[in-house]
Amino acid sequence: MVKAQKIRESELKQHIGRENEGSSLKAAHVVPDTVKVRRVHSESIEDEAWDLLRDSIVSYCNNPVGTIAANDPSCPSILNYDQVFIRDFVPSGIAFLLKGEYDIVRNFILHTLQLQSWEKTMDCHSPGQGLMPASFKVRIVHLDGDDSATEEVLDPDFGEAAIGRVAPVDSGLWWIILLRAYGKCSGDLTVQERVDVQTGIKMILKLCLADGFDMFPTLLVTDGSCMIDRRIGIHGHPLEIQALFYSALLCAREMLAPEDGSADLIRALNNRLVALSFHIREYYWIDMKKLNEIYRYNTEEYSYDAVNKFNIYPDQIPHWLVEFMPRRGGYLIGNLQPAHMDFRFFSLGNLWSVVSSLATLEQSHAILDLIEAKWAELVAEMPFKICYPALEGQEWRIITGSDPKNTPWSYHNGGSWPTLLWQLTVACIKMNRPEIAENAVRIAERRISKDKWPEYYDTKRARFIGKQARLFQTWSIAGYLVSKLLLANPNAAKILINEEDSELMNAFSCMISANPRRQRGSKGIKKRFII
Ligand code: GLC
């Protein structure tokens, strides 16, 4: 297996080497217009960010293949921050694409694809085929029987070495999203058309679309399967995964080559898109009106036409939410399970629901309205709070298992992450409200470079550099650059955005009108929509 892997790797190396030799892909669909970049006082911050981003590049056999997670010379414990993380590379990749530097992204896509089929086991158990690693490292190994000769190998981590042994469900979804962005930006569609790349897309889809025990169209995952990769009570159906899943399904549908063999997969994908958007838009959405509805819910309804389908007890509405919910605006809750709504606001899930059109147009505007109304809570002194509010006291003890890294208002538990700037920017540009992102960037610029580009900030108002935050964290640097590049050339954000699909919208409105919540008293209509 390992030998076969090595052979495939060396074939790929040769192929990529050849491609890089003559690599000037000029036929761009979305021409990165860096010439027109508005010159503002932050020019030197941008220059510094570019220098740091380039310093973080990891090479494999003399070709750039990714960027290291953090490059903090002051930090004695490296842990796995010297690796290339798939999710962390996305803003780096987008920054390079927007600069017209396509090779590193193509190499990253093709090399991580090779890792997808790697044999992975934890205590004799192998996870599903199609899983993408959380991260990988370039290792130098001695050749068999020859101490003087070495070669480089790529060594992936699928969660079998990661803290908590968490499976990175988001990696494959981000990979698909980046692959589409690469094609759209460079105009080079030959990568997505390759047989091995098409197979890679299908393997990810099959893993995500496989039947299980679930009653919901949302993806069922364990705690810590995404950017928040430690225990914090997001097992089940967390919003972030659902938003990335929806986006990846749409991106994959655009890229899959039509062929008889994939008709079933495309049918399953379309059905899932309809069911998923209906489920999230209907059941995850809260605003003042919906909150008041939940407050007055009847419980224990046994029937097909229950209004309170998930048997949510109104007492679950937390005190903080009564204060937090603005009169104008709303958001998608963090998670929905039987008799359980996680009312916390999770930023990435909400922002990517806007970007991918998982949220309706109205909901997307309402999410941005809420961000504006709750600026002091979500942005304050450094954008952007990863989730709101923090878990405290007994709740923190039970839900995080007394995790000392995730103390209240730190790290994943209400910390502020500069990298989230880029997703905020894409969402604002999509909704034609770039000024919100511009304000956030301005706030970041006050400190981010002086503070040495930390991974995250602590406290309610993000006043301190995170207790255990790495400095020179690459996705903080790249996230800032992507925001700047996109604000200067908003048209380029199209490479990441999924526009609302009219077929989906039709199917969605049919489901809405058949929903018993809106038709109390009428016979529960059971309908299936096959596109
Ligand atoms: C932390 C973050 C994770 C990130 C990794 C590398 O584990 O929680 O999202 O990918 O660091 O930066």
Mutate to test the pocket of ligand 1, among 58, 84, 87 (most ligand atoms within 8 A of CB): 87
Residue 24: its pLDDT value, please?
35
Nearest to 351 by CA among 417, 254, 446, 255: 417
Tell me, in angstroms, the distance from the centre of ligand 1 to residue 302's CA: 43
Residue 425 lies in a domain: yes
Residue 100: its pLDDT value, please?
98
Nearest to 253 by CA among 170, 361, 359, 176: 176
Residue 43: its pLDDT value, please?
60
Tell me which residue has its CA closest to atom 4 in ligand 1.
227
Alpha carbon dihedral 422, 138, 251, 33, in 10-degree steps, equals 50
For ligand 1, say whether the CB of 72 is within 6 Å of any of its atoms. no
Residue 518: its pLDDT value, please?
55
Residue 151 lies in a domain: yes
Number of residues in the chain: 531
Residue 299 lies in a domain: yes
Q: Which two tokens stand for residue 236?
A: 């089940």
- The residues near 342 (Cβ < 8 Å, ≥ 6 apart) are 233, 234, 333, 334, 335, 336
Residue 301 lies in a domain: yes
Phi, psi of 70 (to 5 degrees): -150, 150
Tell me which residue has its CA closest to atom 6 in ligand 1.
69
Tell me, in angstroms, the distance from the centre of ligand 1 to residue 165's CA: 13
For ligand 1, say whether the CB of 162 is within 6 Å of any of its atoms. no
Question: What is the distance between the alpha carbons of residues 270 and 122, in angstroms, rounded to a whole number?
Answer: 34
Question: What is the distance between the alpha carbons of residues 179 and 110, in angstroms, rounded to a whole number?
Answer: 10
Angle at 495 between CA 419 and CA 437, to 5 degrees: 40
Tell me, in angstroms, the distance from the centre of ligand 1 to residue 12's CA: 28
Report strand pairing: 345-346 vs 146-157: unpaired
Nearest to 98 by CA among 486, 423, 477: 486
For ligand 1, say whether the CB of 9 is within 6 Å of any of its atoms. no
- The residues near 272 (Cβ < 8 Å, ≥ 6 apart) are 209, 217, 249
CATH number at residue 278: 1.50.10.10
Residue 510 lies in a domain: no
Question: What is the distance between the alpha carbons of residues 247 and 179, in angstroms, rounded to a whole number?
Answer: 12
Tell me, in angstroms, the distance from the centre of ligand 1 to residue 228's CA: 7
3-state secondary structure 111-171: HHHHHHCCCCCECCECCCCCCCCCEEEEEEEEECCEEEEEEEEEEEECCCCCHHHCCCHHH
With contact defined as beta carbons under 8 Å apart, do 344 and 355 qualify? no
Tell me, in angstroms, the distance from the centre of ligand 1 to residue 229's CA: 7
Residue 142: its pLDDT value, please?
87
Nearest to 441 by CA among 488, 409, 407, 405: 488
Q: Which two tokens stand for residue 454?
A: 């930390």
Find the radius of gyration of the CA atoms of the chain. 23
Give strand pairing partners of 59. Answer: 64
Nearest to 202 by CA among 163, 249, 165, 240: 249
For ligand 1, say whether the CB of 511 is within 6 Å of any of its atoms. no
| Ligand 1 atom nearest 229 alpha carbon | 8
With contact defined as beta carbons under 8 Å apart, do 116 and 131 qualify? yes
For ligand 1, say whether the CB of 385 is within 6 Å of any of its atoms. no
Question: What is the distance between the alpha carbons of residues 94 and 46, in angstroms, rounded to a whole number?
Answer: 15
Residue the block writes with tokens 């002091």:
376
| Ligand 1 atom nearest 474 alpha carbon | 12
Question: What is the distance between the alpha carbons of residues 48 and 336, in angstroms, rounded to a whole number?
Answer: 42
Going residue by residue through the chain, which has 531 residues, state the pLDDT in tens, using 9 for 90 and above.
Answer: 344 444 344 444 444 444 444 333 333 344 333 333 334 444 699 999 999 999 999 999 999 999 999 998 887 777 778 899 999 999 999 999 999 999 999 999 999 999 986 677 777 777 778 899 999 999 988 887 777 889 999 999 887 776 667 789 999 999 999 999 999 999 999 999 999 999 999 999 999 999 888 889 999 999 999 999 999 999 999 999 999 999 999 999 999 998 878 899 999 999 999 999 999 999 999 999 999 999 999 888 888 888 888 888 999 999 999 999 999 999 999 999 988 999 999 999 999 999 999 999 999 999 999 999 999 999 999 999 999 999 999 999 999 999 999 999 999 999 999 999 999 999 999 999 999 999 999 999 999 999 999 999 999 999 999 999 999 999 999 999 999 999 999 999 999 999 987 777 777 677 767 665 555 444 433 444 444
Residue 469 lies in a domain: yes
Nearest to 325 by CA among 368, 370, 282: 370
How many domains in the chain? 1
Q: Which two tokens stand for residue 244?
A: 């990335």
Mutate to test the pocket of ligand 1, among 78, 227, 234, 416 (most ligand atoms within 8 A of CB): 227
For ligand 1, say whether the CB of 85 is within 6 Å of any of its atoms. yes
Which stretches of 187-302 are DSSP H helices? 190-193, 195-209, 239-255, 263-279, 288-295
Tell me which residue has its CA closest to atom 7 in ligand 1.
229
| pTM of the complete model | 0.89
For ligand 1, say whether the CB of 69 is within 6 Å of any of its atoms. yes
Question: What is the distance between the alpha carbons of residues 348 and 202, in angstroms, rounded to a whole number?
Answer: 25
Mutate to test the pocket of ligand 1, among 229, 241, 472, 475 (most ligand atoms within 8 A of CB): 229
Helix, strand or coil for residue 503? helix
Nearest to 216 by CA among 134, 335, 79: 335
Tell me, in angstroms, the distance from the centre of ligand 1 to residue 227's CA: 6
Residue 321 lies in a domain: yes
With contact defined as beta carbons under 8 Å apart, do 444 and 383 qualify? yes
Domain extent, residue 466, equals 58-504
| Ligand 1 atom nearest 455 alpha carbon | 12
Residue 486 lies in a domain: yes
Question: What is the distance between the alpha carbons of residues 109 and 500, in angstroms, rounded to a whole number?
Answer: 26
